[in-house]
Structure 1
Amino acid sequence: MREMEVYTDAVDYLETQQIPVGGVGEPGPGLLEEDVFPEVFQEGTETFFLSRLQTHSIDLPETPVLCTQEAMLDRRLMVLRTILDSEKIYLNELETLLMPMKALKASAGTSKPVLSSQHVQTVFYQVPELRDLHRDFYTRLRERMGPQTDLESDSGPGPEQNLEQEEGREAELKGLQLNVGDLFLKIVSQLGVYRGFIDNYANAVEIVRRCTQADQRFRTLAESMMSCNGSDTSKTKYTFEALLYKPLDRVTKTTLVLHDLLKHTPEEHLDHAVLQEALRLSRSFLSGLNEGSQCKREVTLSRGMPRQLMRDGFVVDMCDGARNLRHLFLYTDLLLCTKLKGGGQGKQAQYRFCWDLPLAGLKLNRGPEMDHNTETSHRILSLRARMYEQRQSTKLCSQRSILARCIERSRKKMEQLELSYLTLSPLLPLELHSPSGKSHTLVMSSLYELEEWREAIQKLTRDNIETVPPDLLTLTNSCVKLRMTQQPPLQSLQPEGVSCLCGRLSVVVHSACGLQHPASVYVCVEVDGFEFYESRAQTHSSVIGVCPHWDQEFSFQVDGATNLRLVCELQPEGVGCDDRLLGKTTMKLDPAVLQKRWKRQTLVLGQVEVTLSLKYSPHPLDPPSLASIQQQPIFCMPIEVVAQQEGVLVPHLVRCCVEEVERRGLKEVGIYRISAATSDITNLKTAFNTSLREAVSKLRCVEVNAVSGILKLYFRELPEPLIPTELFQNFAKALDIPDLNSRNVSMLSLLQCCPRVNQNTFLFLLHHLKRVSERQEENKMSLMNLATVFGPSLLRPSAAVQGEYSPPVDISQEVVVQVQVVYSYLQCENLPEAQTWLTHDAETTEEDTAL
């Protein structure tokens, strides 16, 4: 029984290292891992809130199995390196613990000692011996692995291609010759040193706690002990008590480490028998320890703070490309990731440990939004279609008063599909990096939820103090009673009869105010309900200022929507910096309040107030398309067609490029005159023709001359120029008017003859070029320079003017007209403002409402 418990601990440890386990109760080759919930892959069982799932419903990656000798030796080498790195960190921690011993001994002989000589001896009892034991083990293990490590580092660009196979054979040979079993057998045979430390541990901790409360000098020391984190230069701040616990935590993991190493050592290896004996001795030693002792269970965090559960919820854990639905628990001092087991009829729900990360020194990074590959995109579209069909089937069953058992079966099928979709669809990563080198990535579908997790974790990571590690098995087992979230966020599990939206919800994000400093910000809009259609949209980043404007309209097909979420984020100017949350809020969607006409409202998001308009049109929903929604191309398309597709008066490409140039290109010498790399412009063109969101992301990364170049290319490739060709002669005649005022009146009058989209896009561009020229002392681009660059792209003579029956046209004179028309408008002081969006205020039924 005891060996089975130790084996269970070992399995959990191996899984935290992303090492596959092929033991009792684990899937073998060709079987699927229990990645979502274990019971969903077992026929005839049900979880406490989900129906059973067949294996075809969630096609998760198969568990890799190491069967070849080469694969086992590669994994063995990785395990040995992990052990070596762990030993180095442990030695640094022991050195940090021993650092104040000499000073404390010296002060013991003074009139005002910090600790008495007897207390110093008790606190540091057996610690120097443990340090010496592990220093010898680390030094010898590093010497043994030296040639192997050097060989591995030679895999860079130095060797030629024809030597790679020989080096591979040499690496395998040295892997068989690398014998370290005697080192592990030696250190295990000396584990008796830990017996004295463990027996003395409670007394040492008691002295540390008592002196921390009584003596300010010792308190300062006990709460600010720094240790290096392995090979990097970063340091972690420990409490004295946390460092005292390190040896106790270390010795209890000896069996797990040996089991890990033995598992990946081939039977024909000379180390195999030696490691088996070391594992036997380790288990024998640990069996004599009372793992349920009070010193391990009664844990108090730094400054007497008790460990509490702050937040929990279901997230997708991304590991080696595989997506696993996990239940994440945020405690006061650590993150605990678990897998739910059991909970079927007559069974008690249990949680299985996956991994943990201490909050001390934990760094969070919001990675770039991911993309689904073609296969996953097809699966998601298929899941949406199947969910829609199942939803309609459930409605039909309810309307016809069919047996409750049939309705329940239909709902369970819906839960099954939603669970699959919940695992596959998220694209927003939150990366977690621990000072110890451990990293994990959580993927979420909601930016609102991601920011809630990030905010909750960051509040607890401000004090970089590592606390006493918990008993992970006990803590994991207690999750059933402590959990605040009982089930995944599945729409089919929501109560019936709640007033919700079904139809089309239109949202226009107008503007924001309340910024303390000029910044570039954007707003993300999310709706809940069944995931048949896209439920999240995002504005473009605004021009840097204190009153950002977007005026972007989004249309959502919704079924079961009850909440609208808004997230406002600041886009940093530095490369590699995370977007910073300015505020977020949730708005209830009541179909009785929302109307078919636009309703304008102002929502408060922290320090920012966002103005938006809403319109709701209830109607039966069409089935979601099985084909991917392909964005219509933007380049070489009439500008009025593009604007109509986007529901704006100035195409998004023009606005995005202008805003990006004004964000970081106003000081660029020769902006709009100096060309960028052709490859960058080609990549941007492809992105704008396929995915506007991807294109906007790329705009932030490329050099600013590529941004200006793609804008010029867009106008140059319009099938019809921005200023209609039939007005070319009229503009040429207007330029001949000698009186400046009369000429300006005529030019503005001609501008009114342009189509609405062309007129507003031209005005938007003109105001931008004037702002560029205001910085001409830095960028060297005057109004005339800008007119020279843009004139030939914005205005061209009609074919009739260039026809064979017309008098010949002087090309140089034609260019003069093109440049002078744009230059005249740039000099105009009473140039009208551009309208970038379609007006919604005409239909607004209510005044602005602050919520």
Structure 2
Amino acid sequence: MDVFEEAVDYLQRCSIAVAAESEMEPDLLEDVFEVETGVCFSPSPLHTGSIEFPDTPTSCIPEVMLERRLVVLTSILTSEELYLSELETLLTPMKALRASASTSQPVLSTQQVQTVFFQVPELRELHKEFYTTLRARLEPAQEHQGGAQLPPVGDLFLRMVSQLGVYRGFIDNYESAVEIVRKCTQSEERFRTLAESMMSCKGSDNSKTTYTFEALLYKPLDRVTKTTLVLHDLLKHTPLDHQDHALLQEALRISSSFLSGVNEESQCKRAVTLSTGMRRQLIRDGFVVDMCEGSRSIRHLFLYTDLLLCAKLKGGSAGKHANYRFRWYLPLAGLRLHWVLEQEQSADLQFRVSTMRGKMFQLRQELKEQGRGSKGTWSRTLDRIHRKLQQIELWLLTHSPVHPLELHSPNGKSHTIVLSSMYELEEWREAIDKLKGENLETVPPDLLTLTSSCAKLRMTQHPHLQSLVPDCEDQALCGTLSVSVHSASGLQQPASLYVCLEVDGYKFYDNRAQTRLSLSSLTPHWHEEFSLQVDEAQCLRVLYVMQTECGKCSQEDKIQGRSSIQLDPSMMLKKWKKYIVSMSQIEVHLSLKYSPHPLEPPSSVPVQQQPIFNIPIGVLAQQEGVLVPHIVRACTEDVERRGLEEVGIYRISGAASDIQTLRSTFDTNLREAMSRLRCMDVNAVSGALKLYFRELPEALIPRDQFQSLADALAIPDMSSRLQTMCTILQSCPVVNRNTLLYLLHHLRRVAEKQEVNKMSLMNLATVFGPSLVRPPEVVLGQCGPHVDISQEVVVQVQVVYFYLQCVNLPAPLTSVPLDTDEEEDT
């Protein structure tokens, strides 16, 4: 039975009158896609039978196959144009029905309008994009009438079928939509007039075709089946060595699996219905790393409306049927989720990960070289390199993830899954929490049946490997992506938070970055710049994480918002582009710049954090990409948060052991040090800041300026003295000058509370003078400038005291100003 006969049979079973086949227009009966003998498709429920992937094309003459392929693609384009016209016709009355819903005499209620047109606009946009890009690819070949002139199109079909999940919502809602249409057609005359005379343009002659509302609602159901047939037919006419062959084969596998899953799901929904009327449905699935007794394994995780199911995938390669083996399941009712901070990898694992990244980089370079030499044809060498690349990437996907999510069930069972990105982790957590909030009732599952149905229900076909994604060099980034995170706005109350960045593409390097923790601020300012080496990057994901105190010396991090930016190379090529990223209640301001260049091989030695103490401040600032080091900003922020009313702050020292602990932590793990500040005694924090300045190899004000400062203090005219002192300050290196200004402004804020903390400007100058201003070193055997030793301390204190008293003290810069576009993208 062909598609037309099935449609007629379906409509007749629904008591809808259908014209005889002879009365139909001739082009309605044409089916441009061949249906293989023995493969049966029925529209309700949709069914694929068992579509096998063709191992060999139907013809061995490449020229003939390419000509037939062009004919098939032209037919697909025509069919897409008709389908878009039908969807447009279906959506035509939506705006009017929605407007009437708010009147005293609505045709349909607002809820009914939402149900009837559910997911239809999304379907239109999906196929509109596919139609537009396919037409652009086909036009040159159609003009020359040659299949050999046709550019590759496999990536378009793979991208389209990867979004078939849009159809799932439409199919799940279809019965409810049809029921509303039928009831309203019988009871509401205005709607009946509309529903029985929907006009659609057909073909290039713009002739009109009349449809019923219900017949148009059926079109997307028919399209799911037809998509699989299209790919089956197209693959038959694509030579094995054509670069589209592998992509079309993967697209066919996804499409047929989705179609089988729709059929299987409809059967499962009829078989498993909870007493509340809720049906068990697959909400989300994906590949994760399952941690069990220290070992890691790739598993396929399925999230249903009432439970999590973990299964092991067996088979599933092209042309072979996939099956699953049960591992564990957890009911969602009462399930507790706990996000654990990044796991510290052992030195051995870090070395192995670095080595594997280096191998993957070399294979990627070989693949590019072979691809350029083969002139678009797919060779055995390319296939071998590609398979090796996939194997290494799969190993990295198993062993490199560091974001654990603990799952604790009320029955005492617990499992830990590890994910590659915080963004993906938050997607899982959010989806699970949403279902938990719906007063779940759990029906014990038939685990054997449920696991067996996974192959047909699944929406994700394989682990996300970049090597499986079609190359799109003209749309992706290869080189350095610079990201400058400026500030955040929109907080309702002071909070401690930080921003995380994640870039997609090949993971030769660490494609993640994180700002420092901004402590208890209403308007956090980071002004931090990060440089990420990327290959095939197309998306930047941005998350903001809030840290709250959950006990003494204990903090809990919680992801509060996430968003993503599609990376357009042309928009930020070699020039900074401003962006405003809206997430939940806040907006994060950042800038992006892209510099294309060939990538260097990744280092086989994991990058270790450089020490912070006892190194030149200019070197540290350059490493961090700032003008004021993080340790200075973090310590001063914490003192201002909880130490402004502490008596003797900066004069009374904290415990030596606490100060040394902070020093060691800052030198080894900046992120951990930022968190430790909050639970340390505030005098230990102020002591660590003083220790940092004291251990600088060169003071903020260079030694060779000491005599000039001493002479300037002796100038009797105040105006001349001020001008000279400001000139000396301006002559200091840029990092030294801005760090000193930052500290001076902080100390002035401390002195504003001197009635409570007993720290006046003179007291603060006495504490910091010897660290910030140092006399020149006297080298044995050399004649240096004459300095009265008895006056050294006086000069040191008086210099800092003078600057603290300056009324118009310049504001510091914490980062290098960026040359950005004036426009901001939101």
Shorter chain as normaliser: what TM range? 0.5 to 0.7
Is 1:417 matched up with 2:392? yes
Deviation at 1:552, TM superposition (A): 0.9
Pairing partner for 1:455 from 410, 418, 430: 430
Q: Distance in 2 between matches of 1:484 and 1:459?
A: 19
Paired residues for 1:770-785 under 5 Å:
770-785=748-763
C-alpha contact (below 8 Å) 1:384/1:532 kept by paired residues: yes
Q: Distance in 2 between matches of 1:399 and 1:749?
A: 59
Report SS of the residue matched to 1:675. Answer: coil
C-alpha contact (below 8 Å) 1:359/1:466 kept by paired residues: no
C-alpha contact (below 8 Å) 2:472/2:536 kept by paired residues: no
- Match in the other structure for 1:644: 622
Report SS of the residue matched to 2:416. Answer: strand
TM-score normalised according to structure 2 size: 0.63
C-alpha contact (below 8 Å) 1:602/1:848 kept by paired residues: no
Deviation at 1:321, TM superposition (A): 1.8
Structure 1 residue identity aligned to 2:512: R
Paired residues for 1:8-23 under 5 Å:
none
C-alpha contact (below 8 Å) 1:802/1:809 kept by paired residues: no
Is 1:304 matched up with 2:277? yes
Structure 2 residue identity aligned to 1:437: G
Report SS of the residue matched to 2:581. Answer: strand
Pairing partner for 1:502 from 478, 496, 508: 478
Structure 2 residue identity aligned to 1:561: A
Pairing partner for 2:329 from 345, 351, 356: 356
Report SS of the residue matched to 2:726. Answer: helix
Deviates more, 1:767-776 or 1:420-429: 767-776
C-alpha contact (below 8 Å) 2:578/2:825 kept by paired residues: no
- Summarize the Cα distance change of 1:306–1:802 in structure 2 as closer, same or farther, 3 Å threshold: farther
Structure 1 residue identity aligned to 2:447: L
1:265-299 per-residue CA deviation (whole Å, 9 max, x = no partner) reads xxxxxxxxxxxxxxxxxxxxxxxxxxxxx999955
Pairing partner for 1:336 from 293, 306, 309: 309
Q: Distance in 2 between matches of 1:807 and 1:385?
A: 55
Q: Distance in 2 between matches of 1:692 and 1:603?
A: 26
Is 1:847 matched up with 2:825? no
Deviation at 1:378, TM superposition (A): 0.3
- Summarize the Cα distance change of 1:354–1:511 in structure 2 as closer, same or farther, 3 Å threshold: same
Q: Distance in 2 between matches of 1:667 and 1:362?
A: 44
- Summarize the Cα distance change of 1:740–1:458 in structure 2 as closer, same or farther, 3 Å threshold: farther
Deviation at 1:637, TM superposition (A): 1.8
1:618-652 per-residue CA deviation (whole Å, 9 max, x = no partner) reads 11111111122233333222212222232221122
TM-score normalised according to structure 1 size: 0.61
Report SS of the residue matched to 1:661. Answer: helix
Q: Distance in 2 between matches of 1:427 and 1:654?
A: 29
Q: Distance in 1 between matches of 2:555 and 2:274?
A: 32
C-alpha contact (below 8 Å) 1:387/1:418 kept by paired residues: yes
- Match in the other structure for 1:262: none
Structure 1 residue identity aligned to 2:775: P
Q: Distance in 2 between matches of 1:809 and 1:360?
A: 77
1:444-479 per-residue CA deviation (whole Å, 9 max, x = no partner) reads 221111111222222222356653332233222222
Report SS of the residue matched to 1:681. Answer: helix
Q: Distance in 1 between matches of 2:779 and 2:711?
A: 14
Report SS of the residue matched to 1:522. Answer: strand
Deviation at 1:786, TM superposition (A): 2.4
Is 1:566 matched up with 2:542? yes
1:136-187 per-residue CA deviation (whole Å, 9 max, x = no partner) reads xxxxxxxxxxxxxxxxxxxxxxxxxxxxxxxxxxxxxxxxxxxxxxxxxxxx
Pairing partner for 2:793 from 807, 812, 815: 815
- Match in the other structure for 2:512: 536
C-alpha contact (below 8 Å) 2:571/2:577 kept by paired residues: no
- Summarize the Cα distance change of 1:781–1:803 in structure 2 as closer, same or farther, 3 Å threshold: farther
- Match in the other structure for 2:460: 485
Deviation at 1:573, TM superposition (A): 4.3
Pairing partner for 2:412 from 428, 437, 440: 437
Deviation at 1:832, TM superposition (A): 0.9
Paired residues for 1:130-279 under 5 Å:
none
- Summarize the Cα distance change of 1:601–1:423 in structure 2 as closer, same or farther, 3 Å threshold: same
Report SS of the residue matched to 1:847. Answer: strand
Is 1:730 matched up with 2:703? no
Q: Distance in 2 between matches of 1:513 and 1:367?
A: 27
Paired residues for 1:454-473 under 5 Å:
454-462=429-437, 467-473=442-448
- Match in the other structure for 2:810: 832
- Summarize the Cα distance change of 1:738–1:358 in structure 2 as closer, same or farther, 3 Å threshold: farther
Structure 2 gaps, min length 5? 1-52, 54-266
- Match in the other structure for 2:589: 611
Report SS of the residue matched to 1:572. Answer: strand
Q: Distance in 2 between matches of 1:295 and 1:515?
A: 46
Deviates more, 1:370-379 or 1:543-552: 543-552
Q: Distance in 1 between matches of 2:269 and 2:369?
A: 57
Structure 1 gaps, min length 5? 1-47, 49-293
Structure 1 residue identity aligned to 2:459: M
Q: Distance in 2 between matches of 1:574 and 1:770?
A: 33
- Match in the other structure for 1:211: none
Deviation at 1:850, TM superposition (A): 3.0
- Match in the other structure for 1:589: 567
- Match in the other structure for 1:525: 501
Pairing partner for 1:708 from 668, 681, 686: 686
Structure 1 residue identity aligned to 2:356: L
1:316-340 per-residue CA deviation (whole Å, 9 max, x = no partner) reads 1222222222111222222222211
C-alpha contact (below 8 Å) 1:296/1:470 kept by paired residues: no
C-alpha contact (below 8 Å) 1:334/1:359 kept by paired residues: yes
How many pairs were matched up? 556
Pairing partner for 2:449 from 461, 474, 477: 474
- Match in the other structure for 1:761: 739
Structure 2 residue identity aligned to 1:355: W
C-alpha contact (below 8 Å) 2:499/2:545 kept by paired residues: yes
C-alpha contact (below 8 Å) 2:408/2:414 kept by paired residues: yes
- Summarize the Cα distance change of 1:339–1:828 in structure 2 as closer, same or farther, 3 Å threshold: same
Report SS of the residue matched to 1:304. Answer: coil
Report SS of the residue matched to 2:794. Answer: helix
- Summarize the Cα distance change of 1:807–1:830 in structure 2 as closer, same or farther, 3 Å threshold: closer
Coordinate RMSD, CA, aligned: 2.9
- Summarize the Cα distance change of 1:811–1:430 in structure 2 as closer, same or farther, 3 Å threshold: farther
Structure 2 residue identity aligned to 1:531: K
Deviation at 1:544, TM superposition (A): 3.2
Q: Distance in 2 between matches of 1:791 and 1:478?
A: 74
Q: Distance in 1 between matches of 2:806 and 2:275?
A: 68
Deviation at 1:826, TM superposition (A): 2.2
- Summarize the Cα distance change of 1:775–1:420 in structure 2 as closer, same or farther, 3 Å threshold: farther
Q: Distance in 1 between matches of 2:303 and 2:756?
A: 51
